[in-house]
Structure 1
Amino acid sequence: MSVIVENGTIRLVGACPVEDAEPLLAALQDDPLRKVDVSAMTAAHSAVIQLLALFAREIEGAFADPVLGPVLGPVLGPAIGGTSALAKRIQPR
């Protein structure tokens, strides 16, 4: 599995296939304040990227693959070093 939750952070490791979308969503819903570390992610299915764009409150780390940063930066921009638009509206319980 490419989704690892440890110390209040969700780490995405290696290639994140579509099968990782469900555990990623569960981890993001379980604690909306969790940060997501993408520094070890080498690839990602579009479903994983969509979840990051919609639900990730804050994304840490530089992408392991130098192509991912420029490609995903515009999509994930609000969450990189900040807060995604949707996460701003989600109030933690």
Structure 2
Amino acid sequence: MSVRRDGDLIRLEGPCPVEEAETLAALLLAHPGIAVEWSGCTGLHTAVVQVLLRLRPPIHGLCGDAFAARWIAPLLNASTDGPSAQGEA
């Protein structure tokens, strides 16, 4: 299983295919504020990325997927408080 709850964390491990997006969303919605640990992740389907970007859980570790670590992690760590984060000019 590539998305699983492990105590106070949700772990993303190995490749996280499209089928895992629903599992991830359900876990995040059922446990508001729970953190995601993704250092064991080797690949993220864009549907999984969309769940992370929409629900914005706290993220632990450096993603094992180089693309996600470089391009997705900064988006997840960006502040959502300012007008530019909401697409306003």
User: Structure 1 length as normaliser, TM-score?
Assistant: 0.77
3-state DSSP of counterpart to 2:50: helix
Alignment of 1:49-88 (within 5 A): 49-78=49-78, 85=80
Could you tell me how far 1:65 is from its partner in structure 2? 2.8
3-state DSSP of counterpart to 1:68: helix
- Aligned equivalent of 1:46: 46
Give yes or no for contact 1:32–1:56 (8 Å, CA) kept in 2.
no
CA distance in 1, matches of 2:67, 2:18: 20
User: Structure 2 length as normaliser, TM-score?
Assistant: 0.80
- C-alpha RMSD of the superposition: 1.8
Query: Structure 1: which 5+ residue stretches go unaligned?
Result: 79-83, 86-93
CA distance in 2, matches of 1:76, 1:7: 22
Give yes or no for contact 2:44–2:68 (8 Å, CA) kept in 1.
no
Query: Structure 2: which 5+ residue stretches go unaligned?
Result: 81-89
Give yes or no for contact 2:44–2:65 (8 Å, CA) kept in 1.
no
3-state DSSP of counterpart to 1:36: strand
- Structure 1 or 2, whichever has the larger Rg, is 2
3-state DSSP of counterpart to 2:11: strand
